[in-house]
């Protein structure tokens, strides 16, 4: 493990300073491997007798909980599929309706008219509410794009964060801001509050 020269703004030394990303990745390695390397950053930090969290962790549940505190920010909503336009959904539904009407006309002609009326009613209702539905869809798309960009910027900040094992703090070396570990994610997603506070303290 390469020794860092980055100085902690609280204790003014680099003796126990590590990159947050290094601790997180080495923590994952420590969880997965029964015999992690001797220079594993996670074990060096949290396996030390003088550390706040005690000696080397054996309990996997505790280790996973601790590693998660150093995890990079992620989206609050896990989107598996991309949102589809309401017009596209309605068009696909219309094509399916035509096929169903054809089947009904050829096999159950007596219910063709009621089925046609239902489809016309649904189509009319969509036309009357289309403007509101599409506007809501566009707003949702914009919110998702903003969140995606926010998470991307937060991950870039996460890559540049450091952890001081002596003071149990995370810090942004560029802005010389110290952050308690439990508030790291809040800083990553909304750094303006911390930056403004730092500016006022100067």
- pLDDT tens track for 172-199: 888 888 888 888 988 888 888 777 776 6
User: How many beta carbons lie within 10 A of that of residue 42, not counting itself?
Assistant: 25
- The confidence score (pLDDT) of residue 158 equals 93
Q: Are 155 and 137 in contact (CB under 8 A)?
A: no
Residue 138 and residue 133: Cα distance in Å, rounded?
9
Residues of the chain with pLDDT under 70: 1-3, 34-38, 48-59, 76-82, 198-202
Whole-number mean pLDDT of the chain?
81
pLDDT of residue 77: 60
Nearest to 168, CA basis, from 154, 156, 182, 153:
182
pLDDT given at position 83: 76
Q: What confidence score (pLDDT) does residue 50 get?
A: 39
Q: What global pTM score does this model have?
A: 0.68
| Per-residue pLDDT, 54 | 40
Do 23 and 70 form a contact (C-beta atoms < 8 A)? Answer: yes
């Amino acid at each position: 493990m390469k020794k860092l020269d980055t100085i902690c703004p609280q204790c003014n030394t680099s003796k126990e300073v590590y990159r947050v990303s290094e601790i997180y990745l080495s923590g994952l390695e420590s969880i997965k491997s029964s015999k992690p390397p001797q220079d594993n950053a996670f074990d060096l930090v949290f396996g030390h007798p003088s550390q706040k969290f005690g000696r080397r962790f054996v309990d996997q549940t505790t280790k996973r909980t601790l590693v998660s505190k150093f995890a990079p920010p992620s989206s609050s909503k896990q989107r598996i599929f991309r949102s589809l336009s309401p017009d596209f959904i309605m068009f696909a539904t219309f094509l399916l309706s035509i096929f169903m009407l054809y089947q009904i006309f050829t096999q159950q002609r007596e219910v063709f008219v009621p089925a046609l009326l239902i489809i016309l009613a649904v189509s009319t209702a969509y036309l009357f509410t289309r403007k509101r539905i599409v506007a809501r869809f566009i707003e949702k798309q914009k919110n998702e794009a903003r969140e995606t960009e926010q998470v991307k910027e937060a991950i870039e900040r996460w890559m540049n964060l450091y952890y001081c094992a002596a003071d149990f703090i995370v810090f942004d070396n560029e802005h010389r801001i110290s952050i308690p570990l439990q508030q790291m994610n809040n800083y990553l997603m909304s750094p303006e509050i911390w930056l403004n506070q730092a500016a006022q303290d100067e």
